[in-house]
Structure 1
């Protein structure tokens, strides 16, 4: 499969073809899970993308029948990290190395990263060409995440018509709130409130229609209905911000009250965090604290992003005093699963508030976890 080559024509790639793992490093460890964990650690906790890329190239030498989805996840991790770092050529080279020069098969996420990369560089037609090339070739493409990447890129490029066409063309999929939100946000940014409202109503109708397909009472009340309410509230956060930008606080808070209070909504982290960001951004600290406390009282509604949002909003009291979901408990036992930026944000807030001891305590915890992770990930075989 030469998907990248077809997209870039005669472009020459610099990534050398390793014929055996020893061509990459001495004493290579190609075990699937261990390799994936090391690459994630180097990317998320250390930020050393070059070393992570070197380790990731060992993935092509993992046993073919040894959990191939984990191997491809390793490829996905490093390609996505290169794109986020704006290292686009490295992302393309790695994609070519894994999936053209070797026999691994990409998944939908790998393709999404390449499409996002093209959009970031303003290469809209190239992104769409790649989308058409992999569609029907990569088994799980397009996914819900693909629709999000495409609509976001098209809206930012001013191609609203194509973004809308994609939404209509995905009618067989469960309507995705983030993809709709990308388009709604785009129309609000250009001042077209009527079109944004029309899309909002279209989303609700489409979602209601999809819910009607569920016949099981258990499925409806315990899986589908909470998702419906949370998805609607997620979109309402975008309308909240629109009204705040217009200087209309009453209208903004009306959106908030309509989406959360009447339904006594059990928030998921994604929706709760979206609402918290808007509230804190526009100085609604008392409402943000109340929402945070409501989320804290529910199981599974806080995550490390929540702590970071509250920290940036200078709501250090909640982070310091809440027992069940304080910063320390959310930071768990391993730095490998928590972004270092979360630690840094909490340390920064503590220093700004003059809490030197708390800053030192968090810093020491970060280093202790880092040393533990290094020992576990790179111990000799």
Structure 2
């Protein structure tokens, strides 16, 4: 069976035994770290064939020692994370064991976080904590901010508020993470404990101010786009804002917005802006949401990302303003270097706008987008079939194979 056919059919073919040499996995293996990483990412993210991606990923243990080790570990991280997102927990564990126990690769914190998240998703809280404690002394960059986020979210979801608080207290040597604190604050608000939520909010602000004063960060911390003090505080204020909306107290909710954004004339980062937009739209403050979005769009490209645009495009579709949705997307492309349009294509197909969906797909292909998912093509094909336009469905099918063949030749060419 040809490679392209195996990719499209998603045939389960990766081996589960411990390979002693690369040829035990496949014939003529290419174990170069960068090429292997690209192939695994393509198979997992674009094609969605996790079995073939897993088979290729097992070649990572045979990469040359002088290859870039961080690229090799990224390959492991990609496939383990993909398995967890697909709820294939046993496969994720098997791969982790294969890479880091049965062979000599060293995991990074992100690989460990996937396993912790997997166990928390299954309600195995104690096992997740045991694994966290074990790798804490073995993996240099663990725990990271992402580790605290995964753990606090899972612990709060399991009702283990005390353990989540202890975890944050025990990470005092780290820069205080707003998302981890927000997970716990939201948990307390969800159970009606406003006093405890306010106490944590004040604790976060004191800890953040102290860390900044003591320079508990490297100088590239802010350079790499991490939100500054005001944005981190505003991110937490969004949670209180939603809490008041849920209580039917619009005045108190909008006071949170005024204090954190309007009165400070805050130049929001994408993370904070996106959280604000979702809450404003959810509770009917549409004029404020559009005003905020237009400010973000006008001020600078660092104020918004693809999620920001998707939020507002979906709002247009939800309101039945389909043409405005597409116009919003194209207007944003002048500000954001790369915007996925898969979700717009889906919404266009849902609304019978097949020519617009085809134009958006052609736009993606024309600008040379990498990793156009097979599901995007299938969405258009299914919409054409439903509309009785079989010839158009076949045309899209041919385009899908042309694009896939080109990508396979690029990612799997051994030269």
TM-score above 0.5, yes or no: yes
Is the 1:307–1:319 Cα contact (8 Å) retained in structure 2? no
Aligned length: 358
1:159–1:133 Cα change, 3 Å: same
Rounded Cα–Cα distance in structure 2 between residues aligned with 1:319 and 1:330: 15
- Does residue 376 (structure 1) correspond to residue 410 (structure 2)? The answer is yes
Is the 2:314–2:325 Cα contact (8 Å) retained in structure 1? no
TM-score, scaled to structure 1: 0.86
Name 1:310's counterpart in structure 2: 312
Is the 2:174–2:216 Cα contact (8 Å) retained in structure 1? no
Is the 2:185–2:200 Cα contact (8 Å) retained in structure 1? yes
Name 2:260's counterpart in structure 1: 259
Name 2:121's counterpart in structure 1: 120
1:374–1:275 Cα change, 3 Å: farther
User: What's the offset of the Cα at 1:352?
Assistant: 5.4
Is the 2:313–2:329 Cα contact (8 Å) retained in structure 1? no
Rounded Cα–Cα distance in structure 2 between residues aligned with 1:349 and 1:286: 23
Name 2:157's counterpart in structure 1: 156
Rounded Cα–Cα distance in structure 2 between residues aligned with 1:62 and 1:380: 15
Name 2:140's counterpart in structure 1: 139
Is the 2:30–2:414 Cα contact (8 Å) retained in structure 1? no
User: What's the offset of the Cα at 1:282?
Assistant: 2.1
Q: How does 1:81-230 map to 2 (within 5 A)?
A: 81-214=82-215, 227-230=228-231
Q: How does 1:274-313 map to 2 (within 5 A)?
A: 274-297=275-298, 298-313=300-315
User: What's the offset of the Cα at 1:314?
Assistant: 2.4
Name 1:8's counterpart in structure 2: none
User: What's the offset of the Cα at 1:241?
Assistant: 1.5
Is the 2:222–2:228 Cα contact (8 Å) retained in structure 1? no
SS at match of 1:19: coil
Cα offsets for 1:43-67 (capped at 9, x unmatched):
2222221111111111111112211
1:39–1:173 Cα change, 3 Å: same
1:222–1:95 Cα change, 3 Å: closer
**Cα root mean square deviation, aligned:** 2.6
- Does residue 360 (structure 1) correspond to residue 394 (structure 2)? The answer is no
Name 1:4's counterpart in structure 2: none
1:280–1:44 Cα change, 3 Å: farther
SS at match of 1:325: helix
SS at match of 2:316: coil
Is the 2:113–2:147 Cα contact (8 Å) retained in structure 1? yes
Identify unmatched segments of 5+ residues in structure 2: 1-14, 373-402
Rounded Cα–Cα distance in structure 1 between residues aligned with 2:86 and 2:364: 23
Give the number of the structure with larger relative contact order, counting CA–CA contacts within 8 Å between residues 6 or more apart: 1
Name 1:350's counterpart in structure 2: 348
SS at match of 1:314: helix
User: What's the offset of the Cα at 1:116?
Assistant: 0.8
User: What's the offset of the Cα at 1:285?
Assistant: 2.0
Q: Once superposed, which parts of structure 1, at least 4 consecutive aligned residues long, lie more than 6 Å away?
A: 218-225
Rounded Cα–Cα distance in structure 1 between residues aligned with 2:72 and 2:413: 21
SS at match of 1:86: coil
Cα offsets for 1:10-46 (capped at 9, x unmatched):
xxxx821111212212222211111111212222222
